[in-house]
């Protein structure tokens, strides 16, 4: 009887594990061929919702006296535009600024799903999909989402590098920046001899440096956002667990949960902003030649 009872009571580990597992759908064999339905649905719905709302306003945008909705959208527009203007000094309106706006609004909306009560989402999922249906509401606490965004930015980065400098220019930069190359190569002189020996070494050093940079950029870009959102969710789960322990825990969980929610507003907005800024910085750096 005791064993039967133990099976029914949820241990803290099980509780957290349940809340932190994805609603997966396998397309094929192997762990790679799975889709996280919850992250996908949430992110796409949120993306369509947010960008759709902005589109509704932008479609009827007037240069005369703006409506309140348009004023609000223009506020965000100007905010993003100013940030991009300070970092990128090319034609930002054709691609980089709109991308920054998309990233900011979309990530902000996905991060904001952290404000939904974790157990509320789980209960709703059980109601709709049957008992123990898993559903994670915050797409940015899924490494797939943040890494997808970071990788897309990474690909854009390489694309713009090649577009601006040409394929040859890009490869040249891979080997000759940031430490430079031995340009003082003059045969039959002592310096020339040094240059002859130093050049391949500099190529190696430059290339290694660039590879590290190209690897670390998407990693830090995606993991920063993922870590913040994941940790936020875990803390909400821990507080939720504490709230289930009794009256004292309930009050403590409620008060601390409220405090953490308020603090989390800052994190949600800040991480969305940082993700946007890094996107702009990376894309702007790709446009600069050394």
Residue positions annotated with a catalytic role: 220, 224, 228
Q: With binding defined as CB under 8 A, does residue 187 bind other proteins?
A: no
Residues 274/226, Cβ–Cβ less than 8 Å: no
What SS3 state is found at 39? helix
Closer of 75 and 255 to other proteins (Cβ): 75
Residue 78 beta carbon to other proteins: minimum distance, rounded to whole angstroms:
7
CB of 246 to other proteins, least distance (A): 32
Q: How far is the CB of 161 from other proteins (least distance, A)?
A: 18
Structure tokens at 71: 């004023």
Helix axes 118-129, 12-19, angle to 10 degrees: 70
Could you say which of 3, 11, 94, 131 contacts other proteins (CB under 8 A)? 94
Peptide bond into 91 cis (omega under 30): no
**Residue 85 interacting with other proteins (CB under 8 A):** no
Question: What is the phi/psi pair of residue 24, to 5°?
Answer: -100, 155
Place of tokens 């054709």: 94
Contact yes or no for 170/206 (Cβ under 8 A) = no
Cβ 186 to other proteins, closest distance in Å? 49
- Letters for 124-163 (x = contact with other proteins by CB under 8 A, - = none) are ---------------x--xxxx-xxx-xx-----------
Query: Which residue in this structure is represented by tokens 């930002």?
Result: 92
Asked if residue 215 binds other proteins (CB under 8 A), the reply is: no
> 98, 117, 192, 227: which one contacts other proteins (CB under 8 A)?
98
Question: DSSP assignment, residue 29?
Answer: S
Candidates 3, 11, 13, 31; binder of other proteins (CB under 8 A) is 31
State the Rg of the chain over Cα: 25
Q: Binding to other proteins by residue 111, rule CB under 8 A?
A: no
What interhelical angle do 68-87 and 247-287 show, nearest 10?
60
Q: How far is the CB of 112 from other proteins (least distance, A)?
A: 16
Q: Rule CB under 8 A: is residue 95 a binding residue for other proteins?
A: yes
Give the residue, chosen from 7, 64, 187, 188, that forms a contact with other proteins under the rule CB under 8 A: 64
Applying CB under 8 A, among 17, 67, 78, 189 the residue interacting with other proteins is: 78
Instruction: Taking the CA atoms of 41, 123, 223 and 24 in sequence, report the sign of the dihedral they define.
Output: negative
**Sign of torsion over alpha carbons 287, 109, 124, 136:** positive
DSSP reduced 3-state for 36: strand
Which residues would be at the binding site for other proteins (CB under 8 A)? 24, 27, 31-36, 39-40, 43-44, 47, 51, 54-55, 57-59, 61-64, 66, 70, 73-74, 77-78, 93-95, 97-99, 101-102, 106, 139, 142-145, 147-149, 151-152
């Amino acid at each position: 009887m005791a064993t039967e009872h133990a099976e029914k009571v949820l241990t803290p580990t099980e509780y957290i594990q349940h809340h932190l597992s994805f609603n997966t759908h396998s397309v094929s064999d192997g762990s790679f061929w799975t889709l996280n339905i919850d992250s996908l649905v949430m992110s796409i719905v949120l993306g369509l919702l947010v960008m759709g709302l902005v589109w509704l306003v932008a479609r009827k945008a007037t240069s005369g006296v703006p409506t309140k909705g348009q004023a609000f959208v223009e506020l965000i527009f100007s905010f993003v535009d100013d940030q991009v203007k300070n970092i990128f000094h090319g034609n930002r309106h054709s691609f980089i600024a709109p991308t920054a706006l998309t990233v900011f609004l979309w990530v902000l909306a996905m991060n904001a799903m952290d404000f939904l009560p974790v157990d509320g989402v789980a209960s709703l999922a059980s109601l709709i999909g049957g008992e123990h249906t898993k559903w994670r509401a915050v797409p940015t606490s899924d490494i797939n989402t943040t890494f997808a965004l970071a990788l897309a930015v990474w690909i854009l980065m390489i694309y713009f590098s090649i577009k601006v400098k040409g394929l040859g220019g890009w490869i040249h930069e891979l080997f000759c920046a940031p430490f430079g190359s031995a340009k003082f190569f003059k045969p039959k002189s002592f310096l020339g001899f040094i240059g002859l020996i130093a050049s391949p070494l500099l190529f190696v050093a430059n290339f290694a440096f660039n590879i590290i940079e190209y690897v670390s950029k998407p990693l830090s870009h995606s993991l920063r956002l993922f870590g913040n959102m994941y940790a936020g969710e875990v803390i909400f789960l821990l507080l939720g667990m504490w709230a289930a322990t009794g009256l004292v825990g309930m009050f403590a969980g409620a008060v601390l949960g409220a405090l953490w929610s308020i603090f989390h507003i800052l994190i949600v907005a800040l991480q969305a902003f940082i993700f946007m800024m890094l996107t702009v910085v990376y894309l702007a750096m790709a446009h600069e030649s050394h």
